[in-house]
Structure 1
């Protein structure tokens, strides 16, 4: 498989591509993660991922880095409770409040994926429904203080302690909750007419 460019600093996405044995290098540019008001929730992570991918594409072209033929992969993950997008917590207090909101309920994790090649752009999103058992205040405080989940949408990582002890059920792709529906990415990369 051709080497791709991962437009993400996420250690989880890096790990998932390594597990899938996809050759890649990381190139990241700062982008605004705002989105238009009224945009459909499922389109939000695709919109943010597209901006990440386009920023990297522009950077590579402008600096003539010779990688402009390599496919660029970007992704963004949002956590949705009801009709509310839950972002990354600013601090301890907000992380605790988010996990209290998620406790005992089902929420959705939506990852938008954008893959840009010189010929075309492919985009899709994947949805996983996650249900937490009721979490005690002590469990929530322990997790936040030990794992400091401030860089994670929804204030948790499913592969960490809180996921191990707190998740009641998952409907969908586990790896999507980690930040990348990697099996769908592989299929997009190897689809006829793409990059096989």
Structure 2
């Protein structure tokens, strides 16, 4: 269905995330992966969705020569806790500090998606509220050692062990927490 709708486009996914790549495969659309290095720096006054909107757009700007048929998808995800953005951890100590901060609290997972062609751009975002149980230091250390969550915002993957044992409640899209609000993306692509 979506494949038919998008047959006129060359879909470009600009993401090295294996989870986002799998989502695109599971949507049954033809796409290519193109990566460009972008320094993910945003103005310090930005908050919440403004950060992810800015970064999704920044990533799209690295592709300056889109052809008439190209449709570029870029995205960015952050964990938003107590008025602060948590990105990907730098190392084990950073991952531990993030998970310790999330323990016993609610946080938001925010993802923005940029859909861009040579003649239009649309940026949409989605927010999911996640509640964590209190985590012991042993649980945090076990997760970091066995799952190496260094490519994940907030130092965790909901689809991994930590998600099974830590998440008490979820308000919003599960898939957004995995890395892409896939239903929202599907709706936007169907409405092109």
- How many angstroms does 1:68 deviate by? 4.9
The count of corresponding residues between Structure 1 and Structure 2 is 185
Q: 1:151 aligns to what SS in structure 2?
A: coil
RMSD over aligned CA atoms reads: 1.3
Q: For residues 43-67 of structure 1, what are the alpha-carbon distances to aligned partners after superposition, in whole Å with 9 as ceiling and x for unaligned?
A: 1111111111221x22xx2xxxx85
Structure 2 regions of 5+ residues with no counterpart? none
After alignment, is 39-48 or 138-147 more displaced? 39-48
Q: Retained in 1: the 8 A contact 2:115–2:123? A: yes
Report the counterpart of residue 144 of structure 2 in structure 1.
144
Q: 1:72-111 deviations in whole A, cap 9, x for unaligned? A: 0001000011101111111111111110110111000000
Q: Shift in Å at residue 119 of structure 1?
A: 2.5
**Residue in structure 1 matched with residue 128 of structure 2 by the alignment:** 128
* Structure 1 residue aligned with 2:162: 162
Q: Distance in 1 between matches of 2:67 and 2:24?
A: 19
Aligned structure 1 segments of 4 or more residues deviating by more than 2 angstroms: none
Q: 1:52 aligned to 50, 56, 59, which one?
A: 59
Which residue of structure 2 lines up, in the alignment, with residue 81 of structure 1? 81
**What is the alpha-carbon distance in structure 2 between the residues aligned to residue 131 and residue 19 of structure 1?**
28
- Output the TM-score relative to the length of structure 2: 0.92
Contact 2:47 2:83 in 1 (8 A): no
Equivalence for 2:171: 171
Deviations 1:6-62 (A, max 9, x none): 01111110111112222211001001100012123211111111111221x22xx2x
User: Structure 1 CA distance, aligned partners of 2:100 and 2:86?
Assistant: 12
- The correspondence for 2:48, drawn from 26, 29, 41, is 41
